[in-house]
Amino acid sequence: MMMKETIAEAEKALLHTYNRYQLVLERGEGVWLYDMEGKRYLDFVAGIAVFALGYHYQDFDDALKAQIDKILHTSNYYYNLPAIEAAKSLKRISGMDRVFFTNSGAEAVEGAVKTARKYAYRKDGRTDHEIVAMNRSFHGRTMGALSVTGTPKYREAFEPMIGHIRFADLNDIESVKAQINERTCAVILETVQGEGGIYPANEDFLKELRGICEERDILLILDEIQCGMGRTGYYYAWQKYGVKPDIMTTAKALGGGVAVGAFLMTEKTAQRSLEAGDHGTTYGGNPFAAAAVAKMIELFEKNDILRHVREISAYFEKELDGLAGKYDFIRERRGSGLMQGLDCAGPVIGRAMDKGLLLINAGPSVIRLLPPLIITREHVDEMIRILDESLRETIA
Ligand SMILES: *Cc1c(COP(=O)(O)O)cnc(C)c1O
């Protein structure tokens, strides 16, 4: 079967919740993907910030295969070795104290929200606590995560949300203060907003917010699902500013392609929030997913991925700025490390795809670039060449 027919079959079987690109991807190698007809693409999407180490990283694949031969799943009523290893590794790279593994990012956000509510409940026994979230934010598609997602069109048809959520603007501390009151139990934000259009939280905002939360015993929840795991040149983007959250979420690149997420918290938060029986999951932290996490972190450390990201992202930013300077209709380049956006309208992404470069959008008008963290200068050059050509044809 050819790709076109395969896509027609897919559209008869899968629920149509995505307007997908007309592409059936079959295999990957390093930073390259191949469709079912053998055409090669340079991948600047990485499965949406998932494939940090690229495709077919041999050591990683070997570790997964070895775990398959031992055991895939136990149950959280027992301990398993990979989960212990993964939790210890996550504590080491994040500086947080306690880990709960989930199967996805949205579930990690659910856990973070429940933790915040329980923390406040244990203080005063009330059940009307509020959470402040950000406009333009994205935290996932389950009801709790959706409730703190600041894009009304994602929420509208599914109202009522969990309730008691107020929205403020990222990087506008006065707007946050205006939404805080004596019932506020948490403030949640992405350290770098992803889906909403690549907007990094700035240092002063984060520091002031940390101060306000400290003063009022409000929990600061940082969603690091997209910007975490080395993407900004730090394991977690907040580490650049030293603004430590009380609760943090991580997923996407955490399992390098295996479905896994986690929410982490400080010891103080853990001691005063969730207790035995309060939260659970069948699959979360299963030996297979946990083996992936442990191996990812081991490979990050062994290969000093953070140093590589810091080096290559300086070049990446410089080259993107060059493009932004060349075309009037690119309004801005924004981002941090290997999480970048070009604010620009036009059908550029489809053109680039035809020419063998994969990109995605963020929000209505931003081209989002999320390459595997192992890219080299040659890959950046090739991306710039194709993107430049696509932009030129867009204005022609
Ligand atoms: C992708 C994403 C989520 C949701 O993760 P899923 O694994 O798709 O549930 C939550 N928060 C942020 C910041 C994300 O980028």
Q: Is the pLDDT of residue 364 over 90?
A: no
Residues of the chain with CATH 3.40.640.10: 71-302
Position 287, amino acid: P
Stretch 95-105: mean pLDDT, rounded?
Answer: 98
- The answer to whether the beta carbons of residues 284 and 254 sit under 8 Å apart is no
* Residue 308 Cα distances to 124, 263, 371, angstroms: 47, 26, 13
Ligand 1 contacts CB of residue 138 (under 6 A): yes
* Ligand 1 atom at shortest distance from the alpha carbon of 223: 13
- Beta-bridge partners for 131: 165, 186
CATH number of the structural domain 3-57+304-395: 3.90.1150.10
Q: Write down the pLDDT at residue 394.
A: 87
Q: Is the pLDDT of residue 363 over 90?
A: no
Q: Output the CA angle 46-31-82, nearest 5 degrees.
A: 65
Among the listed residues 177, 168, 164, the one whose alpha carbon sits nearest the alpha carbon of residue 121:
164
Among the listed residues 253, 208, 277, the one whose alpha carbon sits nearest the alpha carbon of residue 51:
253
Helix (H, G, I), strand (E, B) or coil at 312: helix
Position 361 confidence tier, pLDDT thresholds 50, 70, 90: very high
Residues of the chain with CATH 3.90.1150.10: 3-57+304-395
Position 125, amino acid: G
- The answer to whether the beta carbons of residues 226 and 330 sit under 8 Å apart is no
* Ligand 1 atom at shortest distance from the alpha carbon of 137: 13
Q: Write down the pLDDT at residue 3.
A: 95
- The answer to whether the beta carbons of residues 52 and 231 sit under 8 Å apart is yes
CA 112 – CA 188 distance, rounded (Å): 9
H or E element at residue 101: strand 98-102
Q: Is the pLDDT of residue 222 over 90?
A: yes
CA of 37 to the centre of ligand 1 (A): 31
Q: Record the pTM.
A: 0.98
Report, at the CATH architecture level, how domain 71-302 is classified: 3-Layer(aba) Sandwich (3.40)
CA of 161 to the centre of ligand 1 (A): 18
Q: Write down the pLDDT at residue 1.
A: 73
Q: Give 365-380 pLDDT, tens digit per residue.
A: 999 999 999 999 999 9
Ligand 1: which of 107, 226, 236 to mutate, most ligand atoms within 8 Å of CB?
Answer: 226
Position 346 confidence tier, pLDDT thresholds 50, 70, 90: confident
Q: Output the CA angle 53-58-59, nearest 5 degrees.
A: 85
Residue nearest to atom 5 of ligand 1 (CA): 105
